[in-house]
Structure 1
Amino acid sequence: MSKTSRLLTIAVTGLALAVPQAQPDRQSVHPSTQSVLPATPEPSPAEASYQELALDGPSVAAETKPFAMVGITWPEGTRPVVAKVRVQRDGQWTEWQPLVVEDEHGPDPATPEGAERSGTEPLWVGDATGVQASAVTIGGSTISDAKVVLIQPGVLTTDADEPAAQSVEPEASGTPYPMPGIISRRGWGADERLRSHNGKACARPKYTTTVQAAFVHHTADRNNYTRAQVPAMIRGMYAYHVKSRGWCDLGYNFLVDRFGRAFEGRYGGTYLPVLGAHTGAFNSNSFGVALIGNFEKAAPTQAMLEKTAEVIAWKLDANYRSPMATIVLDGSRLYTISGHRDTKATACPGNQLYGKLGWLRQRIDTLIGGSVSTPIYRYARKLGFDRTGQPFWGEHPTRTGWATYFGIRDVFHSVATGTHSTLGVFRNRYRGLGVDNTVLGLPLGEQRNGRVRGTAVQSFRYGALYWSRSTGARPVTGRIYHKYTSLGAERSRLGLPITDMYKVKTGLRQKYQRGWLTYNTRRNRVYVQYRSGS
């Protein structure tokens, strides 16, 4: 998007944020993600196959290798298109079925990912060995370079199992709505090698600035699938979006099936604002939830509506957004929970699901308690969101407390330490140490000027970080920290630390500008040694 960033103030009960209108993030990896990116899982062992048939005339018919999903694509810009298909199963041909033409799903136009081909939504057909397909313009003209795509996503032994769902339970009152159970990409068998299919740049996820809105979609697929078929259906959609449409990954951030199970979509971390390809021109600062099925005439099940409410409640509440508010994205005023058709001339998410959006907003408002009241939110609001930035990694539990990574600061809270933030070089160094999984613990206060000119210090539960331009930010913890402070810390004869603590034969040692501190673990004592002449 070429618009310059403007600020819009949202004011609802318990929530007031100055939020930038959505801007595409052109970085492969947002700077704030360097220490929080998820590890890449091993590739799936599923045996998948992918076939393309040229649709040179108005229609094509062929016997093929077995496939389970079908779609039709054509060069971008060809519209409007009428497409239909029938398949051969057990030697019998099915009735012709129209394919849903949906050009409005996809990446934002200004993003490097781009969209190479237009096409229909993919349709799950089960085990088929033949296809007849047709795609013409609305006037009946033949479409140049149209292709019929046949996908066999393979069968995993785990498809019939109930995959473990990742979830986080609340640890105390005054915390955001908890993360619901979500089946990971590994759980549905994502082949992570596929993310490199359209180039190495696609392999690393892209992030937007924050989470402001949720867009609700349907996949326009059939509604009578079984539980065991769902993982294969998602693998098929993944292959179609990447190989047929030219995207980097599965377009949706989350998917929900008719049995009330949620699945992780696009790679990059469910807790981070991963830039998806679900609502063209509106992907920035939003996430997409697709309900698996076609809800133009059929109603979504109550189980899938409830799970959709849980997923959206978790994402919005962690980022301090109200489900009852409105925002401005790409110059359009929208609800924080909107349907795909609110942005473009599309039937998605179907009349029956679109009619449930009001219920979703009310249900989510009930789930999150109607307002934001966490200590981290109150701290950020008091300090000013111009000084914290927007939430990037929304409020989430850490090992010993809670944290929100804002654009400018990381803010932490626990009962033992209170609510404090890290900023600048201290934030970067603290992240590099592993946040509160280290011996430093959570911060006890804000960074401050040291007692020696040109130095800065920040105290943590079990130590401190000391900084100067020449020495960088160095952690001092444990027994060495207590000895160092007893000597006068940065004002002592030792000066500032110039290394982190490291192991020696007798225990731990840390070098300083004018000496060493060595902790002898056997004697449980810290020894001081000064450089000669210091």
Structure 2
Amino acid sequence: MRPLTVSSIGALAAAALASLALVPTAATADTSPRTALAASAAAAETPGATQSLPLLPLPGTRADQSPAAASSVGLPPREVHPFSMIGIVWRDPSVELHGTVQVRTRARGGDRWSDWQTLATHGDHAPDLGSQEAAGPARGGTAPLWVGDCDGVQVRVTAAPTSNKARPSLPSGLRVELVDPGADDESPDPAADEDRTTVATAADEAGAQAAAVNAGLTTSDGLEVKALSKRASELEATQFNPALAPAKRPFVGPRPGIVTRRGWGADERLREKKLHYTRTVRAAFVHHSATGNGYRCAQSASVLRGIYRYHVQSLGWADLGYNFAIDKCGRIFEGRAGGVAKPVLGAHTFGFNQNSMGIVVLGTFDTSAPSAAAVRSVSRLTAWKLGLYGGNPGSSVTMVSAGGKYAPGKRVRLRVISGHRDGFTTACPGARLYGKLPTARTGSAQLQGR
């Protein structure tokens, strides 16, 4: 797993040296091994970048008060290297941030600041306790927010009052993470697109590994898993799961087209190289990314690259937490590496990552409704993937908790297609998306022929 670093993309390498004065020394000051990699080496190889800036007590806080003891910390308006996604992290992932996190940004090249935007402070996406991934250098963090192309930032974090009259406090080690997901996928120059793809999916060991697990499923260029008819999908299913004998008429929906990790430009060098699997896929947990709805469908790959970089470099996870992602246009994307048809272990629903898959719909759906296309794609994806493992989208299943909302070892009855809130105490996937899950279940069962 690559540790948290402050790096620069190749295209900004020269510019970074010339404009380094824009980013204070504190932005790169970190005495931990996370900054051991030389920026000069990373700049020429890694597309995208993460700037990590410490949050300090805001004016009005006692001058002798440390950031750990302050009830209000932040970052004054500051010009920084360009970024498109922002999140707040802290040292201990077991500690929750009780309070309000707000950010303002300034579009690159402009002089107007956005309104204050609030980040979701939930810490509910995480590897399960006791897993190898949880033992790594993980951090606590907010949901990241997509803000578009920006070069100015301001942050304020305020602790919530406590009921026992104790001084409000915040987690220690608070930092703002400014994520540049790499070259924009909307470049009008085909040659530039080809160059970016070549860089982002270099034919190294990790890239070859990520492609090999989808062997025989993708188009010749490896950018997409091919869609299949229902009949072809049912016949193919017995290859993945021999228990689905053709004589038993497997209920498998038609395989949808899926943009591969190579297709959305995942830099395979960021993630942990070892792939981890569970025994089967018994349930699907639906999430929203809480990254906001201000992206265009042409930017979906960039949003996903930003979340991937945030999960790995900022939160310290092995890979992107979700197994699949769906954008507002209904496009389905491969998430965590390991193979779209295989039972890949994710880090999406703390307590229930074993024998399940996590599907994130890109956007925030507390008050905004998801698109009909996105809901249909939840049905399409679950009809196929759950079908490979004998799952009935309209039924329920007993899962064993690994901790969190339910005590470790507790047997919990859940819907085969559940919302994140069903497995953890959270508002995710937002009330409006959660309300669409009955529609998704019905559509998924119909696609399976039930």
- Does TM, scored on the shorter chain, surpass 0.5? yes
Please tell me whether the aligned partners of residues 71 and 122 of structure 1 are also in contact (alpha carbons under 8 angstroms).
yes
Q: Does 1:226 align with 2:293?
A: no
| Distance across 2 between alignment mates of 1:134 and 1:248 | 29
- Please, which of 416, 421, 428 is the counterpart of residue 348 of structure 1? 428
| Distance across 2 between alignment mates of 1:91 and 1:156 | 22
Please tell me whether the aligned partners of residues 327 and 335 of structure 1 are also in contact (alpha carbons under 8 angstroms).
yes
Counterpart secondary structure, 2:298: coil
| Distance across 2 between alignment mates of 1:224 and 1:137 | 27
Matched to 1:338, the amino acid is S
Q: How does 1:342-491 map to 2 (within 5 A)?
A: 342-370=422-450
Alignment-derived partner of residue 47 in structure 2:
47
Alignment-derived partner of residue 69 in structure 1:
85
C-alpha distance 226-157 of structure 1, shift in aligned 2 (>3 A): closer
Q: How does 1:41-440 map to 2 (within 5 A)?
A: 47-57=47-57, 58-61=73-76, 62-75=78-91, 76-79=93-96, 80-89=98-107, 90-114=110-134, 116-139=138-161, 140-156=168-184, 164-170=223-229, 171=231, 174=249, 176-195=252-271, 202-329=272-399, 330=401, 331-370=411-450
Please tell me whether the aligned partners of residues 159 and 229 of structure 1 are also in contact (alpha carbons under 8 angstroms).
no
C-alpha distance 74-186 of structure 1, shift in aligned 2 (>3 A): same
| Distance across 1 between alignment mates of 2:293 and 2:396 | 32
| Distance across 2 between alignment mates of 1:365 and 1:142 | 45
Please tell me whether the aligned partners of residues 74 and 119 of structure 1 are also in contact (alpha carbons under 8 angstroms).
yes
Matched to 2:256, the amino acid is P
Q: CA deviation at 1:179?
A: 1.4
| Distance across 1 between alignment mates of 2:429 and 2:440 | 14
Please tell me whether the aligned partners of residues 420 and 428 of structure 2 are also in contact (alpha carbons under 8 angstroms).
yes
Q: Which has the higher contact order (CA 8 A, sep 6+)?
A: 2
C-alpha distance 208-295 of structure 1, shift in aligned 2 (>3 A): same
Please tell me whether the aligned partners of residues 216 and 288 of structure 1 are also in contact (alpha carbons under 8 angstroms).
yes
Aligned sequence identity (%):
42
Matched to 1:353, the amino acid is L
Q: CA deviation at 1:156?
A: 4.9
Counterpart secondary structure, 2:157: strand
Counterpart secondary structure, 1:109: coil
Q: CA deviation at 1:310?
A: 0.4
Greater share of helix residues, 1 or 2? 2
| Distance across 1 between alignment mates of 2:180 and 2:227 | 34
Matched to 1:110, the amino acid is G
| Distance across 2 between alignment mates of 1:289 and 1:354 | 13
Q: CA deviation at 1:255?
A: 0.2
Greater Rg by CA: 1
Q: CA deviation at 1:49?
A: 1.4
Unaligned 5+ residue runs, structure 1?
Answer: 1-43, 196-201, 371-534
| Distance across 2 between alignment mates of 1:277 and 1:193 | 19
Please tell me whether the aligned partners of residues 254 and 264 of structure 1 are also in contact (alpha carbons under 8 angstroms).
yes
Counterpart secondary structure, 2:428: coil
Please tell me whether the aligned partners of residues 156 and 189 of structure 1 are also in contact (alpha carbons under 8 angstroms).
no
Q: CA deviation at 1:81?
A: 3.5
Across the aligned residues of Structure 1 and Structure 2, the Cα RMSD in angstroms comes to 2.1
Counterpart secondary structure, 1:304: helix
Please tell me whether the aligned partners of residues 46 and 156 of structure 1 are also in contact (alpha carbons under 8 angstroms).
no
Q: CA deviation at 1:228?
A: 2.0
Please tell me whether the aligned partners of residues 184 and 299 of structure 2 are also in contact (alpha carbons under 8 angstroms).
no
Unaligned 5+ residue runs, structure 2?
Answer: 1-43, 58-72, 162-167, 194-221, 235-248, 402-410
Please tell me whether the aligned partners of residues 185 and 301 of structure 2 are also in contact (alpha carbons under 8 angstroms).
no
Alignment-derived partner of residue 241 in structure 2:
none
